[in-house]
Structure 1
Amino acid sequence: MGSHPITRAAVDDAVRYADRWLAFRQRATRVPGVQAAVWFDGELVLSTAHGVADEASGEALTAAHRFRIASHSKTMTATVLAQMVEEGHLRLDDPVGTRLDWLHDSDSPVADLTLFQLLAHAGGIPRDSASSAHWQHEAPFLDADTLAERVLAEGTVTGADVRFKYSNIGYALLGQVIEAVTGRSWAEEVQERILDPLRLADTGPDWTPDVDGPWATGHTGLAWADRRVPIDQVPTNAMAAATGVWSTAADLCTYMAAHLPGDERLLTDASKRRLQRPVQQVEGVPDGGYGLGFITSRIAGRSGVGHNGGWAGHITSTVALPEDGLVVSVLTNAIDGPAPELVEGIIRLVDAAAAPVDGPVDDARARVPEGRYAWLWGVRDVAVLGGRAYLLSPTVPNPVAATVRLEPDADDPDRWVMVEGPGYASVGEAVTVERDADGRVEALDMSGTRIVPIDRAVLPDRVTAPGS
């Protein structure tokens, strides 16, 4: 838990603004669409979408559109294996070779790797095999026979327990273990053990052409081209346990809420702690760790668990804060979508709204002119978080990085003083409200700079010199 508890009032304030912030970030980052959901206190408190599901058709994105959530699949594979451990069918220290006959009969070093090592990406085996053309749609994803051939031919590359060595191949092997032990497909086990009990109607183990939509079209990025093109969907075959699942942000929040303490629909709390405890440090990621199938993180001083998903055309992220009971999920439909950044931004807004207030809380929302304002230099938002009024900058990825707190003038309801903020802000100066004859906000005077409601802002053909 962070330095202050998260309350329902704080979450309500945060998501009220977060929806507006997401709409701006979707446009500012030029990603086609953003779908998001937030879970707190036993229910969804936000389920929203902005932008388009398909750039070519202009179809609006909704909260019901489905996305490929890629490596979120690893959390489900880990969950099924943990259930099988609880049932006595497996042990985490079982060598994978004792569960797969074709591997047991070989001299491959992979045979000696334990299920624990594969779950933790500690086995040292290749990430995607020597040929990962499937990630560019240049070849199908590996089937079971091809997977076995690649594993036997390539073995390990770093040795076990040397470093965090992320591996989709390792999780594909874990899917094969589930099938070998149960005699059923990985997809059937996930459906019956996770999706059906949680009633996740908008989630499935892998894409096939007969799966109904609506689907969010995946799009290419803008890193080396000035336009986006659509990317077709493909099945992941024997790689589904690593990257096959599709879902919505709302379903992902419901799923991750079942991994919060006290909810034992899927796993005991002891099993959840085992999966969520970091056992690997991820090089190059500050505060980044990995448990067994779950990414671990620290955001705004709070411990998070979840996963990101990188699919050709969909970038997704879900983080749960087990100590706080909060889950945030964001899905984007472009290969350069900023989903992890947006998840972190929402969590930071919640944290800011939950911060304690010195003295009585003024009814800021009844007085402050909440909204979005524009001027030559950019955009400012006025919003209420935790009962306090703020100026925020939606143009930066961290929505609370440059916040300025506003304190009401006791004698003038349309005057506020900037009392806290960054060193380069106009702290100590005033923000005053200009109103028309009907009392509507015409503009704000922000320490001498006039900013207007964004729906009234007009971009001229040219910004001319004064008097010209």
Structure 2
Amino acid sequence: MSEARGHTLAHHGSVGFDAVDFTAVDEIFARFHADGAGAPGVAYGIVHGGRVVHGGGYGLVGSESPGTPGPATVFRIASLSKSFTAAAILSLRDEGVLRLDDPVGEHVPMLARLPRATRDSPPITVADCLTMSAGLPTDDAWADRQEELTEEALGALLSAGIGYTATPGTRFEYANLGYVFLGQVVESLTGRPFTQVVSDRFLQPLGMSSTTYDYRDVAGERLATGYHRVGDRWEPQAFTAPGMFSAIGGVLSTVEDLAVWVHGFASAFPARDEPEGGHPLARATRRSMQQQHRAITPLVSMNGHGLPDARTGEFPWGLSGYGYGLFVEYDPRWGEFVHHIGGYPGFGSHMRWHRETGIGVVAFGNARYCPVYEPADAALRQVLDAVAPPSRTVVSWPVVHEARQVVDRLVDGDESAVRDPVFSPTLFQDEPAAARLTALDEAHQQVGALTGPAERLSAATPGHLVWWRPAEHGRIRHEMWLTPTVPAKVQRLQVDAVPDPSPEFAPVVECVVEALAGKRPDWPEHVAPAGDTTPEQLVDELIRARDLIAPVGPAAVIGATSPDDVVIECVGRQGAVEVRMARTGDRVRLDLALRRTPEDYLLRRDQR
């Protein structure tokens, strides 16, 4: 089965995908398959809007079906199944049948007899199981082989007791057994087989006709055979039928069907007033599944630049937490990714989507624990690079810009502005008006008189605003936050002077600004970077950071505690680079941070 055969399919003309070269996606999966260690066959698809935008496959479906797998081939999806289990539980919660803080033993008698972790430990709750916080040990190797276990056998197993690694509700540990408990809760509350509940509530309404829990429902030529590597050969793995452990990984599906499932989650954002539509789960519930309800302990290492690099402990991706049946990962360049990895005897799987755009990827391999998440992640990032989605847009409340005009009057020297009703009385309880006026005088003494109108407006939320005004010897930075009341009022106001860099420091600042513009400037000879970093390495690092964010304008000084200690920011469509610079004698220290930055496009502009 070393022969590599492939095919691809594509829907051209998709909105937003015209700039994407999908041959690069195909090459990523082709290389993964060609190394011979991944799986006899792989299938994949870039998904958006409930369909496969581009998909393909390499290798063989199986010994009985020698065709090439593709988006319509049925694979065991393993732990991607947990999102279906979580959805079933939450649908019952939405109906008022259960609460997430209910002990699982309240609904399933055999679980009521489970021992506590300690005498003072609480019982395992539904929420504990949903968020992998039940205090149970990681059990992949064992649990993946238990699917066909009967109810009687499960009861006998649990009657002997279970081991705990933590008190329930206190920390994350990936444990399949908790999702077995959730499947039992669903059966107990509905009086029907768990697999039938999922089918009736989700698969049939969503038209996912190729998705099932029973491999015997799938025509042989469409069903991928699972394999395990033994020496230099692939050995087929026997399929298991539905049983008590199906809730952890028993679903079989296609890339095409999971495109529909992924779209259901992606389309829940943003929150809006329009009608719900036809999805079986409310948008708010689907959004709740994609929130970090349990943080995962990170591991911190040092990268090649001597900077800390934090990653999620036991998993091969960046900082993340667990939602309800889904991982939620924060990426400093792209924002949130929502995903799940799957591994089962004979199969590996991954689904992942970018929460802000809804662009996703689904990938399968027909080998035991096939690490298909690697090409899937790379392929999605390849597409996002080409699509270049902007940072999320924040639309400010109209009163924000009315308040800005009043603040500008105050900073310009109109002391009567402190009596304007746009200011909350609490603002001057925290710092009296007289003290604020004195601070404004001191700011003017640092940078001189203001010389121009507001510029560089941005916001993190609709009730927040940052803006700048140029001055003779620097700039004034303004930041305000408004109350949640109607009408909203200014509850917090920060006005800071940002002086120009000193003559000795200005060439270094200019060098950093030019590097963030993509140039290769000459480093000033009278100063050197602190530590062992050379000027060339520092410039290379700044240019790499710049390439990641796709700048929309030049870098600028955004803060300064003194003329020799400044902060520079460069904002782009895909994030922002912030550089803190401090000079001591002939040495300068630079600390670089990459972050995801919302941009306020100020759709409601001043008319006055």
Q: Work out whether the TM-score is over 0.5.
A: yes
Moved segments of 4+, more than 6 Å: none
Secondary structure of the 2:68 match is: coil
Give the equivalent residue in structure 2 for 1:123: 134
Q: 1:242, 1:336 → 2: CA distance?
A: 15
User: Larger relative contact order (C-alpha < 8 A, sep ≥ 6)?
Assistant: 1
Shift of 1:192: 0.7
Stretch of structure 1 that moved more, 100-109 or 315-324: 100-109
CA-to-partner distance for each residue in 1:362-385, whole Å, 9 max, x for gaps?
xxxxxxxxxxxxxxxxxxxxxxxx
Tell me which structure has the larger Cα radius of gyration. 2
Q: Quick one: which amino acid aligns to residue 42 of structure 2?
A: V
Q: 1:25, 1:114 → 2: CA distance?
A: 41
| Residues 243-392 of structure 1 aligned to structure 2 (within 5 Å) | 243-262=249-268, 265-283=279-297, 284=313, 285=315, 286-299=318-331, 300-355=333-388
* Structure 1 pair 356–319 and aligned structure 2 pair: CA distance change class (3 A): closer
* Structure 1 pair 91–33 and aligned structure 2 pair: CA distance change class (3 A): same
From 15, 30, 33, give the equivalent of 1:26: 33
Q: 1:220, 1:61 → 2: CA distance?
A: 17
Give the equivalent residue in structure 2 for 1:231: 237
C-alpha RMSD over aligned residues: 3.1
Stretch of structure 1 that moved more, 259-268 or 322-331: 259-268
Q: Quick one: which amino acid aligns to residue 292 of structure 1?
A: Y
* Structure 1 pair 58–12 and aligned structure 2 pair: CA distance change class (3 A): farther
Q: 1:343, 1:57 → 2: CA distance?
A: 24
Q: 1:118, 1:18 → 2: CA distance?
A: 36
Secondary structure of the 2:20 match is: helix
Q: Quick one: which amino acid aligns to residue 326 of structure 2?
A: F
Shift of 1:25: 2.7
**Residue 173 (structure 1) aligned with residue 184 (structure 2):** no
Q: 2:134, 2:31 → 1: CA distance?
A: 42
Shift of 1:102: 2.7
CA-to-partner distance for each residue in 1:314-359, whole Å, 9 max, x for gaps?
10000122211112100011125231111111111012113389xx
Q: 1:53 touches 1:59 (CA, 8 Å); kept in 2?
A: yes
Secondary structure of the 2:234 match is: coil
Give the equivalent residue in structure 1 for 2:20: 13
Q: 1:15 touches 1:346 (CA, 8 Å); kept in 2?
A: no
Secondary structure of the 1:238 match is: coil
Shift of 1:305: 1.2
Give the equivalent residue in structure 2 for 1:162: 170
Q: Quick one: which amino acid aligns to residue 248 of structure 2?
A: A
Q: Quick one: which amino acid aligns to residue 362 of structure 2?
A: S
Q: Quick one: which amino acid aligns to residue 47 of structure 1?
A: G
Secondary structure of the 2:342 match is: strand
Q: 1:172 touches 1:241 (CA, 8 Å); kept in 2?
A: yes
Q: 1:288 touches 1:297 (CA, 8 Å); kept in 2?
A: yes
Among the aligned pairs, what percent are the same residue? 29
**Residue 76 (structure 1) aligned with residue 90 (structure 2):** no
* Structure 1 pair 326–92 and aligned structure 2 pair: CA distance change class (3 A): same
Q: 1:272, 1:356 → 2: CA distance?
A: 23
* Structure 1 pair 208–41 and aligned structure 2 pair: CA distance change class (3 A): closer
Q: 1:8 touches 1:41 (CA, 8 Å); kept in 2?
A: no
Q: 2:143 touches 2:176 (CA, 8 Å); kept in 1?
A: no
Secondary structure of the 1:13 match is: coil
**Residue 43 (structure 1) aligned with residue 75 (structure 2):** no
Shift of 1:239: 0.4
CA-to-partner distance for each residue in 1:177-203, whole Å, 9 max, x for gaps?
001101111111100111001111111
Shift of 1:57: 6.6
From 102, 110, 116, give the equivalent of 2:110: 102
* Structure 1 pair 17–140 and aligned structure 2 pair: CA distance change class (3 A): closer
Q: 2:252, 2:188 → 1: CA distance?
A: 24
Provide TM-score, normalisation by structure 2.
0.53
Shift of 1:16: 4.4
Shift of 1:42: 4.9
Q: 1:127 touches 1:168 (CA, 8 Å); kept in 2?
A: yes
Secondary structure of the 2:96 match is: coil
Q: Quick one: which amino acid aligns to residue 288 of structure 2?
A: R
Q: 1:99 touches 1:181 (CA, 8 Å); kept in 2?
A: yes
Provide TM-score, normalisation by structure 1.
0.68
Q: 1:60, 1:194 → 2: CA distance?
A: 29
Gaps of 5+ in 1: 1-6, 358-420, 424-468
Give the equivalent residue in structure 1 for 2:158: 151
Q: 1:235, 1:74 → 2: CA distance?
A: 17
Shift of 1:108: 4.8
Q: How many residues align?
A: 350
Secondary structure of the 2:229 match is: coil
* Structure 1 pair 107–18 and aligned structure 2 pair: CA distance change class (3 A): closer
Q: 1:178, 1:328 → 2: CA distance?
A: 29
Secondary structure of the 2:90 match is: helix
Q: Quick one: which amino acid aligns to residue 253 of structure 1?
A: A
